[in-house]
Amino acid sequence: MMKKRAIRLYFIAKRAVDIVVAGTALIVLSPVLLLIAVLIRRDSPGGAIYAQERVGVRVKARGGSKFWEIKPFIVYKFRTMYQNSRSDIHQQFVTAIINKDDDTVKRMNGNATGDKKYKLVEDPRITPVGKFLRKTSLDELPQLWNVFRGDMSLVGPRPALPYEVDLYTSQHLRRLEAQPGMTGMWQVTARSQVDFEGMVDLDVWYVENQSLLTDLSILIKTPLAVFRGKGAG
C-alpha cells in the first residue's frame, strides 16, 4: 500500500491527467462527437445524449483522516436505445447475475457462451446505430465530460447503477472505494467473460494496487480491448 504522501501525490497527478486528457479529447474529437449525434438522431426519434444516474464516490475529510463517500451522479452516454425504453429488462438481468441465478441468465441471454455469457444478448431496446456504438464503445465518449467535471476518472471501476448497489454485499461495496472510470481492469482483461464476482475481484485488486503506472498500463491496453470487441455489444 502507498504511504499517505505518495497517495496524496498520486491522486493530484491522476486528477491533473484526467483534466488534460479529457479536455483535449473533447476538443479533438468534437467533429466525431457531432457526427455520431447526427447519426443517432437520423436513426431513431429522440435526443442523441442519454443521461442516467450512477453511483460514484468522492474523497471526504473528517477528524484529520480521509475516506470515500458514496455520491450519486449523472453519467452521459450516446443514446443506443429507442426513446423511453424501460430499464426493467436490464434490472432483471443484473439481479440474476448478482444472485447467481444461472437459469434466468441463460434464458435472457439466449444461452450465449464465451464472451457473451454475462451480456444481455439481442436486447430489443437497442437501435441499429446503437448496436454499432456499443460494439465499438463509442457510446461512452460523452463520459469524457464526466471525467473533465470530476465525476469520473479515465481509469477506475465501472460506475454502478443504483439498483445494482442495492444488492451488494460488504465485499461488493469495496469496488466503490475508488472513483469510477471510463476504463479499468475488468474492461481490458475480462469484460463480459467473467461473472459478477470476478468483476468485483478485478475492481478490488485495482482499489488495492492503483498507481500511475497501473493506470497507464490500463490506458495502453484499452484501445486493443476495444478493437477486439470481446464482450461488447
Q: What is the pLDDT of residues 67-100, one digit of tens each?
A: 677 889 999 999 999 998 888 888 898 898 898 8
Give per-residue pLDDT as tens, 147-185: 999 999 999 999 999 999 999 999 999 999 999 999 999
> What pLDDT does residue 212 have?
94
* Helices within the chain (DSSP H only): 4-28, 30-43, 88-98, 102-108, 128-136, 143-149, 162-165, 185-189, 196-209, 212-228
The pLDDT assigned to 114 comes to 60
pLDDT digits 0-9 by tens, 104-130: 888 887 766 666 667 777 788 999 999
Which pLDDT tens digit goes with each residue over 1-10?
A: 457 778 889 9
| 4 in Cβ contact with 112 (< 8 Å) | no
| pLDDT reported for residue 231 | 45
For residues 159 and 54, the answer to whether their CB atoms sit within 8 Å is yes
What is the C-alpha separation between 37 and 152, in angstroms, rounded? 22
Residue of 129, 138, 93, 167 lying closest to 229 (CA atoms)? 138
The C-alpha cell 460488504 sits at: 170
Mean of the pLDDT values across residues 144-148? 98
Dihedral sign computed on CA atoms, order 53, 180, 88, 83? positive
CB 79 within 8 A of CB 40: yes
More confident residue, 233 or 88: 88
Is residue 96 within 8 Å of 104, Cβ to Cβ?
yes
pLDDT greater than 70 at residue 22:
yes
Domains of the chain by residue range: 4-228
Give the pLDDT of residue 195. 86
pTM, 2 dp = 0.88
pLDDT tier, 49 (very low <50, low <70, confident <90, very high otherwise):
very high
Give bridge partners of residue 53 from the DSSP assignment: 74
Interatomic CA distance for residues 195 and 168, integer angstroms: 14
The string of DSSP letters for 58-106 reads EEEEETTEEEEEEEEEEEEEE--B-TT--SHHHHHHHHHHHTT-HHHHH
CA dihedral sign, ordered 220, 223, 226, 227: negative
In this prediction, residue 210 has a pLDDT band, given cuts at 50, 70 and 90, of very high
* Mean pLDDT of all residues belonging to the chain: 88
